[in-house]
Structure 1
Amino acid sequence: MPVVLGTDRVTRVQVAAVAAGASVAIDSGAAELLARSHAVVAAALAAAAPVYGLNTELGAGRDTTVDPRDLAAFQRRIIANHCGGIGPALPADEVRALAFVRLAGFTRGGSGVRPALADAWAALLNAQVVPLVPARGSVGAADLTHLAAVAALLTGTGHAVVGGAVVPGRQALTTAGLEPFDLAPGEALACLSSNAYSVGVGALELARLDRLALAADLAVALSLEAIAMRGGGGNLSPFDEAVARATGRRGQAQAAASVLAHLAGSAAFETASTVQDPLSLRTVPQLHGALRDQLAAAGTELTTELNARSDNPLVDVDTGRIVSGGNFQVLALALQFDALRVALAHLASASERRISALSELARPDRATGTSSIPGLLWYSAAANLAEIRQLATPASMAGAALSGVEDQATFAPLALQLLQRSRALTLEILAIEALHAAQLLEPTNPAGTLGGSAAGLLPALYALWGRGLPSADLVSGAVQLLAS
């Protein structure tokens, strides 16, 4: 079933669906708004008044008028000049996400593109043609290099990834039964004037982080049971509803309830003999809750950007004006990505401390040679944590002056890519924690007495290390189990 773009708000669920391969359609309401928006651009072009990027050059050349006879060639030069991305190609789901977000932006009415351009952009998605989009190059003042790669393919240049091979854009279009699209005046800039990478891939990343939050609760549940069974700790009073109610924080209440659900039927309810555990256990609801609350805030900001008219110049259909502005400057979103990395650093730090405690409890097993996992997996977790802490440095402060007029940038794409790396490293730490806890539970809990997802996780972990895998593959397998 296609994702239909109309005049309603665009959602992160729609981004995820198109990223996963769903087709798209544009309804009559959005098509009408596109036509009205383009009419404003056509009127401005006929009036010959200077409008940035429509009949003037870009950047430092903003006050230089483009000869009307050169406008078509000017569109091609804009796209070619912005195809400066480098690094590995983005995976197909991320390319589809960013392409969909730019298409959704067209339908908000701020770009002034023709309905035909939106239709051609949708056709590219529906034909499952994946542009080759280099990962790096955009600095967060619109994701220029990312979108230029998509626009290049649309217009018959650029490249596509077909069956893992890179092919020329025109060949990819021909194979898919599509024709290169000729951009009208102003449309080249409109193709680029969006933070579609940061918003589209950011939407996918927030969904992955939602799953990480659940995985973190599951790892803690295993640790609480293991410590209760082997170390006399695992006091569950910090997870009591009354504690969360005392602060009123939604994320804290969700995290506490999630951990307790995993511990349904656990020996930890009966076995714990300590009044208070270390803070890495006792403040889990606060730590995991802070991540959840930050994810909620980031989701709100991302949805705002997903529905914003970020174009420059901005077509204001209601007044019939074209206005220069800076809605492409997404500092608020970049700050959310930065804050999420800090939240992950705190969560990962507590997990590493729990691994330390679990490793100490497993020392007798290592001494007798009955340990199921290498003792120095803890060191690997510590190495991951060191990198996560470095990644928590605000990327949004990395901006540098690029030209006389482009003298500020948010570096939202970098903030997002560092967040992706932080998530991967944190998941590995949580997997190492789960392996350490499961190792301690194996002799006493071979069938698994925990509730929720934990009931099936323990046997799966036991089976995983029973295969005699190298430690890297062992952790990778545990990551997949936790994140699924």
Structure 2
Amino acid sequence: MEKITLTGDNLTIEEVASVAKDYTQVELSEGAEKRLRDARQLVFDLVDADFPIYGFNVGVGWNKDKKVFKEFFSQYNCNLIRSHSIGVPPWASTEQVRAIMLTRLNGMLSGCCGVAPEIPEMYAKMLNRHIHPLIPMRGSVGEADIGLLSHIGLAIIGEGNVEFGGKVMPSKEAFSLAGLEPLSLGPKDGLAIVSSNAVGAGHGALLLKDIEDFFTVADAIYALSLEGFNGNVSPLDDRNHKLRRYVGQRKVAARIREDLEGSFIYEPDRQKAVHDPLCYRDVPQIHGAVLELLQYTRDRLEIQLNTTDDNPCVLLEEKTIVPSANFEPLNWVLGFEGLGVALSHVSKASCLRLIKLSDPSFTNLPRFLSPAADVLCFCTVQKTYTSLDAEIRHLCNPVSMDTLSLAGGMEDMSTNAPYVVQKLDKILDNLRYIFALELIHAAQAVDYRKGRNLGKYSGAVYEKVRSVIPFYDKDRNITEMIQQAHELIADGTLLRLLPRD
């Protein structure tokens, strides 16, 4: 993508990833710019009429009963940004910062927040000139990420630190180097900057794309594992899957069949069991369930990306401003909570396949896939994937209902949306390590089945891993092998070998 024109209503997860990872340039559409101007004029008209508006001319939260006078608009909004800067590390990565900024920028373009047009324009300039505020990732209860997004506001008013040109520096210095000037804030500007779920949603958009990419690779690793196991291919038969009418299940089975095209595994073999263990047989159903939940979550998150979650909400056609609770993100948060549980099922199945691959009673191969009696091979590594799976099982516990009553009893519900996304991100990386171990085991098992053709794409995966990690013929540092296999998964090396939807 050369440049993305933002309208406020058609941003995709792929575009978020492109801006975040590839530094794709952004611009505002003419329609979006007009909405911003019209909404801002409405704000001033209502302020002139002394109409009490939350976050405009009265305070926020428990201070909603305190009046803010015109002459203090700039000071009040800057103070709101400063006082709401309450986060603690870890700091967002550069990719996450860019996704967060883009998410908030696109939300502003609906015209429902009444922000000064110069502010979303500044977001675009900062993205295009690679000025990235330091944003802490903890300090939000997930009912608008006010304590985290405020750090973007600090940068905009010339305070706080940013990353620019690979260095951390004061925002004023970065702005000067980039030919920009800090902005002054007016009525509602502070609230417009912080009143959004952009931290959870922006990070979530990147994570959904990462999970989708991971499962393309995971299916191919499973295909190689099935070859190493000399498993039964009957459970992949499309005649089985079309009877169930689950789209994800059928899609996964088709993808695995494509990975195995031309494989020896389709040849008749009297040594094969009629039924394999469920951790092998059920993969289309397990991975397919994840794909369907991914689609559910993607659909709801893209609504979040392309609609307002502001409070209060500017209604241009009605020429008024109304209180709103659209900052409640439970609709898409539940999808991320569910994905944690779904990935725990995937983890468990992979770990069980690893155990089976090491067991001669299932494979007719040497115990722990060892090439000789004096080589220990993969006996102790069982503890590694067991501990990773235990972490996943713990991390998939829901947290979206854990809350306290805040702001004088007014804010008594929350979702912990940023943390829900963060723990799912950790689950995904643990899962990469588990599948890295399955990849190592599968390649070792396949090596014992010499002279047999592998599948079109399972074979490509095998050749790539063997170009980095040789056959385990003597005991050596397995930690290094695990990290090498993990990098093949995490950096996109294996993904680039495979067909993508």
Q: Same fold (TM over 0.5)?
A: yes
Alignment-derived partner of residue 464 in structure 1: 468
1:165, distance to aligned residue in structure 2 (A): 3.7
| SS in structure 2 at match of 1:395 | coil
Alignment-derived partner of residue 245 in structure 2: 248
Alignment-derived partner of residue 358 in structure 1: 357
Structure 2 contact 8–107 (Cα < 8 Å) conserved: no
1:449, distance to aligned residue in structure 2 (A): 2.0
| SS in structure 2 at match of 1:397 | coil
1:364, distance to aligned residue in structure 2 (A): 6.6
**What does 1:181-220 align with in structure 2 at a 5 Å threshold?**
181-220=183-222
Alignment-derived partner of residue 283 in structure 2: 284
- Aligned residue among 162, 166, 169 for 1:167: 169
1:127, distance to aligned residue in structure 2 (A): 1.1
Alignment-derived partner of residue 345 in structure 2: 346
Alignment-derived partner of residue 158 in structure 2: 156
Q: In the TM superposition, what whole-angstrom CA distance separates every residue of 1:155-176 from its partner, at most 9, and x where no partner exists?
A: 1001112355421111111111
1:480, distance to aligned residue in structure 2 (A): 2.6
- Aligned residue among 406, 410, 418 for 2:415: 410
1:473, distance to aligned residue in structure 2 (A): 2.8
Paired with 2:466 and 2:399, the residues of 1 have a C-alpha distance of 40
Structure 1 contact 4–26 (Cα < 8 Å) conserved: yes
Paired with 1:78 and 1:130, the residues of 2 have a C-alpha distance of 21
Alignment-derived partner of residue 231 in structure 1: none
Paired with 1:373 and 1:23, the residues of 2 have a C-alpha distance of 50
Indicate yes or no: 2:486 matched with 1:479. yes
1:112, distance to aligned residue in structure 2 (A): 0.7
1:261, distance to aligned residue in structure 2 (A): 1.1
CA gap 1:373/1:262 in 2 versus in 1, 3 angstroms: farther
Alignment-derived partner of residue 59 in structure 1: 61
Paired with 2:306 and 2:341, the residues of 1 have a C-alpha distance of 27
| SS in structure 2 at match of 1:210 | helix
CA gap 1:446/1:212 in 2 versus in 1, 3 angstroms: farther
Structure 2 contact 112–314 (Cα < 8 Å) conserved: yes
CA gap 1:236/1:365 in 2 versus in 1, 3 angstroms: closer
**What does 1:80-479 align with in structure 2 at a 5 Å threshold?**
80-228=82-230, 234-270=231-267, 271=269, 273-361=272-360, 362-363=366-367, 365-366=369-370, 368-369=372-373, 373-403=377-407, 404-445=409-450, 449-452=454-457, 454-466=458-470, 470-479=477-486
Structure 1 range deviating more: 415-424 or 112-121? 112-121
Amino acid of the structure 2 residue aligned with 1:479: H
Q: In the TM superposition, what whole-angstrom CA distance separates every residue of 1:313-341 from its partner, at most 9, and x where no partner exists?
A: 10111211111111011011111110000
Amino acid of the structure 2 residue aligned with 1:475: I
Structure 1 range deviating more: 465-474 or 330-339? 465-474
The alignment's TM-score, normalised by the length of structure 2, stands at: 0.92
1:6, distance to aligned residue in structure 2 (A): 2.3
CA gap 1:333/1:8 in 2 versus in 1, 3 angstroms: closer
| SS in structure 2 at match of 1:375 | coil
1:459, distance to aligned residue in structure 2 (A): 2.2
Amino acid of the structure 2 residue aligned with 1:481: L
Paired with 1:372 and 1:300, the residues of 2 have a C-alpha distance of 48
| SS in structure 1 at match of 2:456 | coil
Structure 1 range deviating more: 270-279 or 149-158? 270-279
Identity %: 33
| SS in structure 1 at match of 2:358 | helix
Q: In the TM superposition, what whole-angstrom CA distance separates every residue of 1:428-480 from its partner, at most 9, and x where no partner exists?
A: 1111111111111124348962212x222212222333399732332222123
CA gap 1:23/1:370 in 2 versus in 1, 3 angstroms: farther
Gaps of 5+ in 1: 229-233
Paired with 2:476 and 2:56, the residues of 1 have a C-alpha distance of 60
| SS in structure 1 at match of 2:159 | coil
Paired with 2:184 and 2:336, the residues of 1 have a C-alpha distance of 36
The runs of at least 4 consecutive aligned structure 1 residues that moved more than 6 Å come to none
The alignment's TM-score, normalised by the length of structure 1, stands at: 0.95
1:277, distance to aligned residue in structure 2 (A): 0.9
